[in-house]
Amino acid sequence: MSESDLPEGWELVVGLEVHVELATNTKLFCSCPNMFGDEANTNVCPTCLGLPGSLPVVNEQAVHFAMVLGRALGCTVQPSVFARKNYFYPDMPKDYQVSQYDLPTNGEGALELPDGYVVGIERAHIEEDTGKSTHVGGDGRISGADYSLVDYNRAGVPLVEVVSRPNMHTIEHAKAYVSELRDILLATGVSDAKMEEGSMRVDANVSVRPTGSTELRTRCEIKNVNSIRSMGRAIDYEAHRHIDLYNNNDAPRQETRHWDEANGRTRPGRSKEDADDYRYFAEPDLLPLDPTAAEIAAIDEAMPALPQQRRRALAEAAGLVPADVALVVERNQDELALAALAAGAGGAGVVKHLINNLADGAGQLTPEAFAGLVSMETRGDLSSTQAKTVLAELVANGGQPADVAAGLGFEAMDTSELEILVDGLIADNPDEWGRFCEGDKKIQGFFVGQIMKATKGQADGKVVNQLLASRASSS
């Protein structure tokens, strides 16, 4: 059973909120360094500590990065207003978070997954990060802790929160969405997108509904899963929990839940606030943002090739579909693939080797050598096992495929030599040959095997089969 499978009659509904830390040098509203892993409370000032009388000054680079991400997600970049989101939490010293509410910087957009499925983006707004609490003693939760520590180095780090529409219905799509978003962040350079360092934090809104229904039932928000794999497990657990509740004439309550990786379950957090509870109002200490058409055009102009475009370009050049080349693009090997194609290699061979044999990188392999190797294999000068061996050598030490093949003793067998061997084998095995000519497929392996044995594996299986077929049709 695939993990995206729900019991018959139920459909999964997932929307994702991803907090992305922007790769700026300094924080969103002050000049403190935006740095992960420094000693606690060393990158702080009156502004990011929320001391009375301090005033925010907006970081232009952060706003630029936010707009770049918005455009990469096909969002409308629009005039926007910062807003105060009021709530109390020890790691948020002002007792409000500066965020955006009804006028986010980036409006409606969309993200296309490698298989062509399109996930709607509702908005991608700018906000400041909070500090980080560490609960000491007990099992790391606030309840049962002996005491708690707060590090404000993260307070005021610029974030963009990317909010998807709840239109993902399989765990595979939810995972592909996060993976695609990460690749877009890396391609545009707006974030280092390290989930393990918290620079990309995913909250998953999960609900279920009867198949065929379009209603949105009560959702639970699973917080802070720290890998794509954990997110998949958490969604799966949560969906089944909802179904069990409905099957027992009960229903889930709207709440945040925390993923417990060790026990493979979610546990309740706080009951989820609605927007009303936050008492949003426009931030009086900051001006609205109003990017000009020229600024937005310049962002579009400078936009690097995004994963989706790169998949399309490679798929077209290789004569394949985008999903086939997704892994190559994800590994940033599309440039090598395109160069090998341009040097005359066949698309299927190039992609096959990149996916199966070049996962750890191409090392000393040049596009020309790669193209030459694929062509040798396609012509039948090298068997696929030999090609793999030659490729490993080219990756390790460089060189030309023909030289490496010769050095390894992988000389292509002359077809006339092979013909003599095949004819001899036929003459020695008249009964088996009779069965072959009558179309017994099983006996084909016997002939190929004998030739391979006689040539110590140097014969090309494809050529042997062709020879056998031509002999059979003329006998």
Number of residues that bind Zn ion (CB under 5 A): 5
Binding mask 90-109 for Zn ion (x = CB under 5 A): --------------------
Q: Which does 30 bind (CB under 5 to 8 A by kind): Mn ion, Zn ion, none?
A: Zn ion
Number of residues that bind Mn ion (CB under 5 A): 1
Between 75 and 365, name the residue whose CB sits nearer to Mn ion.
Answer: 75
Q: Which does 21 bind (CB under 5 to 8 A by kind): Zn ion, Mn ion, none?
A: none
Q: Which does 308 bind (CB under 5 to 8 A by kind): Mn ion, Zn ion, none?
A: none
Between 31 and 134, name the residue whose CB sits nearer to Zn ion.
Answer: 31
What is the phi-psi region of residue 14: left when phi exceeds 0, alpha when psi lies from -120 to 50, beta otherwise? beta
Q: Which does 393 bind (CB under 5 to 8 A by kind): Mn ion, Zn ion, none?
A: none
Candidate segments 41-49, 73-81, 223-231, 296-304, binder of Zn ion by CB under 5 A: 41-49
Between 50 and 399, name the residue whose CB sits nearer to Mn ion.
Answer: 50
- The answer to the question of residue 320 lying near Zn ion (CB under 5 A) is no
Q: Is 227 helix (H, G, I), strand (E, B) or coil?
A: coil
DSSP 76: P
Q: Smallest distance from the beta carbon of 128 to Mn ion, in angstroms?
A: 10
Helix, strand, coil percentages for the chain (3-state, nearest 5): 40, 20, 40
Q: Which does 191 bind (CB under 5 to 8 A by kind): Mn ion, Zn ion, none?
A: none
CA–CA separation, 62 and 73 (whole Å): 17
- The answer to the question of residue 48 lying near Zn ion (CB under 5 A) is yes
Residues 145-174 that bind Mn ion (CB under 5 A): 161
Q: Return the number of other C-beta atoms located less than 10 Å from residue 343's C-beta.
A: 17
Between 29 and 237, name the residue whose CB sits nearer to Mn ion.
Answer: 29
Q: Smallest distance from the beta carbon of 32 to Zn ion, in angstroms?
A: 3
Distance of CA 134 to the CA centre of its chain: 29
- The answer to the question of residue 21 lying near Mn ion (CB under 5 A) is no
What DSSP string runs through 95-131?
A: SEEEEE-SS-SB-SEEEE-TTS-EEEEEEEEEEE---
Q: Smallest distance from the beta carbon of 34 to Zn ion, in angstroms?
A: 10
Between 45 and 298, name the residue whose CB sits nearer to Zn ion.
Answer: 45
CA–CA separation, 300 and 133 (whole Å): 39
CA angle centred on 394, ends 339 and 323, rounded to 5°: 45
Between 175 and 223, name the residue whose CB sits nearer to Mn ion.
Answer: 223
Question: Which residues are registered as beta bridge partners of 158?
Answer: 128
Residue whose Cβ sits closest to Mn ion: 161
What DSSP string runs through 248-259?
A: TT--PPSEEEEE
Among the listed residues 217, 169, 204, 193, the one whose alpha carbon sits nearest the alpha carbon of residue 330: 193
Q: How far is CA 379 from CA 3, 345, 372, 376, 412, in A?
A: 42, 11, 11, 5, 10
Sign of CA dihedral 389, 441, 465, 468: positive
Q: What are phi and psi of 120, to 5 degrees?
A: -75, 145
Largest CA distance in the chain: 100
Torsion angle in degrees (nearest 10) through CA of 252, 15, 117, 178: -120
Q: Which does 45 bind (CB under 5 to 8 A by kind): Mn ion, Zn ion, none?
A: Zn ion
- The answer to the question of residue 122 lying near Mn ion (CB under 5 A) is no
- Pick from 3, 17, 19, 45: which binds Zn ion (CB under 5 A)? 45
Between 161 and 236, name the residue whose CB sits nearer to Mn ion.
Answer: 161
Between 6 and 75, name the residue whose CB sits nearer to Mn ion.
Answer: 75
Is residue 73 a contact partner of residue 118, using CB atoms and an 8 Å limit? Answer: no
Between 100 and 308, name the residue whose CB sits nearer to Mn ion.
Answer: 100
Long-range contacts of 321-324 (CB under 8 A, 24+ apart): 322/114, 322/116, 323/114, 323/115, 323/116, 324/351
Q: How many helices (H) and strands (E) does the chain have?
A: 15, 13
Q: Which does 32 bind (CB under 5 to 8 A by kind): Mn ion, Zn ion, none?
A: Zn ion
Between 122 and 161, name the residue whose CB sits nearer to Mn ion.
Answer: 161
Q: Which does 161 bind (CB under 5 to 8 A by kind): Mn ion, Zn ion, none?
A: Mn ion
Q: Smallest distance from the beta carbon of 129 to Mn ion, in angstroms?
A: 9
Q: Which does 328 bind (CB under 5 to 8 A by kind): Mn ion, Zn ion, none?
A: none
Q: Smallest distance from the beta carbon of 156 to Zn ion, in angstroms?
A: 6
- The answer to the question of residue 183 lying near Mn ion (CB under 5 A) is no
CA–CA separation, 344 and 350 (whole Å): 10
CA–CA separation, 194 and 180 (whole Å): 14
Block residue for tokens 């191409």 = 362
Q: Smallest distance from the beta carbon of 231 to Zn ion, in angstroms?
A: 32
- The answer to the question of residue 129 lying near Mn ion (CB under 5 A) is no
Between 283 and 393, name the residue whose CB sits nearer to Mn ion.
Answer: 283
Residues 14-33 that bind Zn ion (CB under 5 A): 30, 32
Q: Smallest distance from the beta carbon of 220 to Mn ion, in angstroms?
A: 17
Contacting positions for Mn ion (CB under 5 A) = 161
Q: Which residues of the chain form contacts with Zn ion (CB under 5 A)? A: 30, 32, 45, 47-48
